[in-house]
Structure 1
Amino acid sequence: MHKEFWTSAFAVIATLLPFAASAQDHPLAQYLEVPGATTTLPVDTAKTPWSLQFSKEAQAAFENFHYQMGGDHALYYNQNLSEFLPTAYSSPHPIYMPLERAPKADIADAVVFPVNEGKLSLNEYIEHPNHRVQGIMMVHKGKVVFESFPGMNPMDRHVWMSPGKATVGLVMAMMEEEGKIDTSLPVSDYASELQGTLWDDVPMLDALNMSAGLALEETLESITDPASIIVRFFSAEFGAPNPMTGETENWLDILRDAEAIAGEKPGEVFRYSSAVTQVAVLAAERIDDMTWADLFETRIWGKVGARMDFQHQLMPDGTAVSHGLISTTLEDFARFGMLFTPSWHKTAHEQVVSDAVLKRLQTAGNVEAFRAGAKFAGLTEEFGEEPLMNSMQFDAIFEDGALYKHGNIGQGIYIDPARDFVGVYYSTNGYIPPYGEDKAMGFLRTAAKHFAGE
């Protein structure tokens, strides 16, 4: 597209927050009149086959920003991303381990949490059309105690979005425990493609904690600036041209140009960035000398008694987009979380997450850097209490050791090892009022405490 178009479009998008009072008043209303960009279909539409016409229209309209708006077409993309991007697979262990069901149906009414519409029960939240939850599952002491599929079927795959970063944090913590990586050394020691750049001065731990001190943060300003490095990065991931120049770029060349934030050193401020996650993916592939899909199967998924493969969507150069574009069933999403709990043996044939690795993930963050970052206030509001810090790709670590990772348009994984609890959810929840609020994480932490008798 032409530079003038993108300059105009991004100028409009820049008004995205604060939200307008209604969809009609929203500054993006005219732009989102594009078919499939807005929300007109209930989420339960995704439980039945799509018409051929709808499928073709979604396929023709696919591009990153259109997807991220979370409209009707996003329901299709979340189920079928392997149609649009090259996809690699990690196979599970050949012996399937069914999860035991011990449903606690009363939990949906017993757990309440404040949201925009008032103090709702979990059941009311799930059923409310404003929140567009497609699937939610809770596992306590290795048993599925609650599951609901208002907008998908149990065997449907769905994109994780940013909870995928937890897979990267886990792999890097495992490599550190094995002595394959020293997280005090610079990123470029392990990702040689970045040598001779400012990455030479960024310790790997600071990168894993998203405090690299580089201008890669995903803020409203940066993601609505067509000339920003983060917009260029996302475009390159999808094989799309630079929105300002029309040239197709390589994501690594873009990150080599990352600039320092004036007056800030690595490790000082938590600045959320998917680009930093991809640097860790590159390093892990070099360290194990295999693709991400193969190393993930070798280290993790090949030990899990899941029923289905783990899908990794790829960039044009074959790099797995592990910061978010991975797809599994809801149950397999929960199985990943179970690996961090005392009940890991209910889903895996051997232990994947050692006690030392779990402890590292729970303690590697920096409290001061977390509180200095933009996400601290939002996470506190979403949970109704202050998390302690972020750590190694997880958005929030609590004093009791619980871990949480959120994803765009409403995905999340909450892992509570001390309470032997895992909660996961999928949604397709766009940005236009009355949509956009995601409080499922607050319900999950409340449920974990409920099962623990607190």
Structure 2
Amino acid sequence: MRYVLRILLAILIMSALIQQPSYAKSSDLYKYLSVPGARATLPVEAAKEPFSKKFVDHARERFNNFHLQMGGDHALYYLMNLPEFMPTAMSMPAVKFKRLKRDIQEDLDKIEVKTDSEGVLTLSDYSVHPTFRHQGIMMVHQGKVVFEAFPGMTKTDMHVWMSSAKTTVGLVSAMLAEEGKIDVSQPITQYVPELAGTAWDSLSVLNVLNHTTALDSEETGESVLDPNSVIVSYFSAIFGTPNSGGCQTEDTVSVLRAFWPLYEEEPGAVFRYSSPNTDVLTMMIEHIEEKPWAAVFEERVWGKLNARMPAMFNMRPEGVALPLGLMSTTLEDMARYGVLFTPSWQAVAQEDVVSDAVLTRIQTGGDPEAFKDSAKDESGFKSFGGERAESNSYQWDWIFEDGAMAKSGNLNQLIYVDPERDFVGVVVSTTPYVAPYGETKAPAFMRAAAKFLHGK
């Protein structure tokens, strides 16, 4: 376990790597890329067949020091088998499995998007292009699959969602709010008393839900590389390992209690993305429901879904699940989850899981002013092909004026839900963040496809 901290830090270091298309031989990045298995030399198609024992043994030996985040050959194995490397809790699906019906729309290939690296591409060409290294893409319209591609996985393979999983915490939190079990205007410490007497006292539940905490815990390229930063201490704690600054192991609550408010910034003012917020919300949910996260999610969501397989959540040493990103399912089950937010929910579930009130709460819970000019605002503008979202809300990165919602995940995972157009799109990938890789235009294709199908 002593290397797992570096893995998680690597998972969260995208912004730094994206802005480093070139690297010197003396740099840390060059050192990490020089490790066997760190570079992408295999096509993603290789993951559709079992890897040799020798390959897997070598991948296990090197599961450290940003190796996963390099998005290379070994990462193809890691992202599809993460429960082999960490303690894992499961949320079981409904007893009855229901396969999504197919209504493949060939004319979706009329959609073209201009990429920065490969020019204008059609949907089918983009989906399998080696530069983008997508392993699975699925689009669902009116409860039926209208497009699917599996260039780097089989239909029954599991794949990690990365931060797209944060939407599950946002959903359950919205449910609790609608039921009156939480008041999002109240201090988060009312529900997570372990953090009372600290900077968290001044934060509302909504501040935490929307990443507007004004704490020194923002995930930036600088903070995740600083061995003395609080974010490094946090990730060290959740895996029970000394941080890279050499400090002794600390428990998670002690580290969270040490977070400090930013000078001259009020809570609610600025969207600053931070995974510890999702962890705190998970703690809140477990306290209120008096059950582990996986049991809560099964009872409220996954157990009502006609999914093929369980939802798997990796855990930190204290036994708390990490839906902040470490959740694995099949691609189609990920799409089924998205359909819960649409009018066609009956295609995937036994009952209406996401009520109109819950959906409205999620869509309208953000602050456009706090979102404006944030890092997610800018990255979304680029990946959506020049269209800007209006806000973020309830752990979703982007909420559009028309109610469409999207959440990205590291190494280019994505869930896109457009309730008004009854459309869902999901993507799982193992995309390196060094040249010639890193770009994604999957969000632009998803939004264009939803509009195209709605206009037919």
Q: Report the TM-score when normalising by structure 2.
A: 0.94
Please name the residue that 1:345 is paired with: 346
CA distance in 2, matches of 1:417, 1:372: 26
Q: Judging changes above 3 Å, is the alpha-carbon distance between structure 1 residues 178 and 64 closer, same or farther for their aligned structure 2 residues?
A: farther
| Counterpart residue type for residue 403 of structure 1 | M
**Partner of 2:106: helix, strand, or coil?**
coil
Q: Which residue of 2 aligns with 1:199?
A: 200
Match of 2:270 in 1: 269
Aligned identity (percent) is: 52
- Single out whichever of 351-360 and 116-125 deviates more from structure 2: 116-125
- Show the counterpart of 2:356: 355
User: Residue in 2 aligned with 1:158?
Assistant: 159
Partner of 1:54: 55
* Separation in 2, partners of 1:385, 1:284: 34
Deviations along 1:396-434, whole A, 9 cap, x unmatched?
A: 000000000000001000000000000000000011100
- Which residue in 2 is equivalent to 1:223? 224
Shift of 1:251: 2.0
Alignment correspondent of 2:405: 403
Indicate conservation of the 8 Å contact 1:269/1:372, yes or no: no
Residues 92, 303 of structure 2: 8 Å contact kept = yes
Q: Is the CA contact 2:22–2:434 (under 8 Å) kept in the aligned structure 1?
A: no
Counterpart secondary structure, 1:65: coil
Q: Distance in 1 between matches of 2:16 and 2:289?
A: 44
Structure 2 match to 1:37: 38
Following superposition, the deviation at residue 236 of structure 1 comes to 2.7
The runs of 5 or more residues in structure 1 that have no matched partner are: none
> Do 1:46 and 1:151's aligned partners in 2 also have CA atoms closer than 8 Å?
yes
* Residue 334 of structure 1: how far off its partner (Å): 0.3
CA distance in 1, matches of 2:252, 2:66: 17
Question: Once the 2 structures are TM-superposed, how far is the Cα of residue 24 of structure 1 from its aligned partner?
Answer: 8.1
**Equivalents in 2 of 1:69, 1:149: separation in Å?**
22
Residue of structure 2 in register with 1:309 after alignment: 310
Residue 246 of structure 1 deviates from its aligned partner by 4.8
- Could you say which residue in structure 2 is the equivalent of 1:65? 66
- Does the CA contact (< 8 Å) of 1:14 and 1:221 recur in 2? no
1:64–1:446: structure 2 CA closer, same or farther, 3 Å change rule?
farther
Give me the whole-angstrom Cα distance separating, in 2, the residues matched to 1:306 and 1:429.
Answer: 26
- Give 1:374 deviation, angstroms: 2.2
Kept in 1, the 8 Å contact 2:32–2:65? The answer is no
2:441 paired residue number = 439
Query: The residue matched to 2:372 in structure 1 has which SS?
Result: helix
Distance 1:16 1:281 in 2: 29
The equivalent of 1:183 in structure 2 is: 184
CA distance in 2, matches of 1:224, 1:14: 11
The C-alpha deviation readout for 1:348-400, integer Å capped at 9, x for no partner, is 00010000000000000000000042221121121121100000100000000
Q: For residue 148 of structure 1, what is the aligned residue in structure 2?
A: 149
SS of structure 1 residue aligned to 2:379: helix
Distance, in Å, in 1 between the alignment partners of 2:251 and 2:151 is 39
Seen in structure 2, the aligned counterparts of structure 1 residues 429 and 15 have a Cα distance that, compared at 3 Å, is: closer
Question: d(CA) in 2 for partners of 1:337 and 1:420?
Answer: 10
Q: Is the 8 A contact 1:15 1:27 kept in 2?
A: no
| Alignment partners' CA distance in 2, 1:15 and 1:103 | 39
Aligned-residue offset at 1:308: 0.9
Q: Which residue of 2 aligns with 1:235?
A: 236
Query: Aligned partners of 2:94, 2:31: CA distance in 1, in Å?
Result: 49
Distance in 1 (alpha carbons) for counterparts of 2:198 and 2:168: 26
Verify the 8 A CA contact 2:363 2:393 in the aligned structure 1.
Answer: yes
Partner Cα separation in structure 2 for residue 239 and residue 265 of structure 1? 32
C-alpha change, 1:215 and 1:137, in structure 2 (3 Å) is same
**Aligned pairs for 1:246-395 within 5 A:** 246-383=247-384, 384-395=386-397
Q: Secondary structure at the match of 1:79?
A: coil
> Does structure 1 conserve the Cα–Cα contact (< 8 Å) formed by 2:289 and 2:296?
yes
- Where 1:131 maps in the other structure, the secondary structure is coil
Quote the Cα distance in structure 2 between the aligned partners of 1:289 and 1:48: 42
Q: CA RMSD in A?
A: 2.1
Q: Which one is further off, 31-40 or 173-182?
A: 31-40
SS in 2 for 1:422: strand
User: Once the two structures are superposed, what CA deviation does each residue of 1:132-187 show, in whole Å capped at 9, x if it has no partner?
Assistant: 00000000000011110000000000000001000000000000000000000111
Contact 2:279 2:322 in 1 (8 A): yes
SS at 1:424 equivalent: strand
Amino acid across the alignment from 1:404: A
399-408 vs 376-385, which moves further: 376-385
Change (3 A) 1:14 1:334: closer
8 A Cα contact 1:412 1:424, kept in partner: yes
3-state SS, counterpart of residue 243 of structure 1: coil
Q: CA offsets, 1:200-224, max 9 Å, x none?
A: 0000001100001101111111122
- Give the letter for the 1:330 counterpart: L
Cα separation, 2, equivalents of 1:121 and 1:394: 27
Contact 1:411 1:426 in 2 (8 A): yes
Which moves more between the two structures, 271-280 or 114-123?
Answer: 114-123
Work out whether residues 14 and 221 of structure 2, in 8 Å CA contact, stay in contact via their aligned partners in 1.
Answer: no
**Given the superposition, is the C-alpha separation of residues 341 and 25 from structure 1 closer, same or farther in structure 2, using an over 3 Å criterion?**
farther
Contact 1:157 1:327 in 2 (8 A): yes
CA–CA separation in structure 2 for the residues paired with 1:204 and 1:81: 30
Give the corresponding residue for 1:136: 137
**Larger displacement relative to structure 2 (203-212 or 229-238):** 229-238
Amino acid in structure 2 at the alignment position of 1:416:
D
- Give how far 1:13 is off: 11
Q: In the superposition, relative to structure 1, how do residues 242 and 23 fare at CA in structure 2: closer, same or farther (>3 Å)?
A: closer
Per-residue deviation, 1:29: 2.2
1:102-117 alignment, distance < 5 Å: 102-107=103-108, 109-116=109-116, 117=118
Name the TM-score, length of structure 1 as normaliser: 0.94
Which runs of 5 or more residues in structure 2 are unaligned?
none
Q: Distance in 1 between matches of 2:24 and 2:413?
A: 23
Moved more, 29-38 or 76-85: 29-38
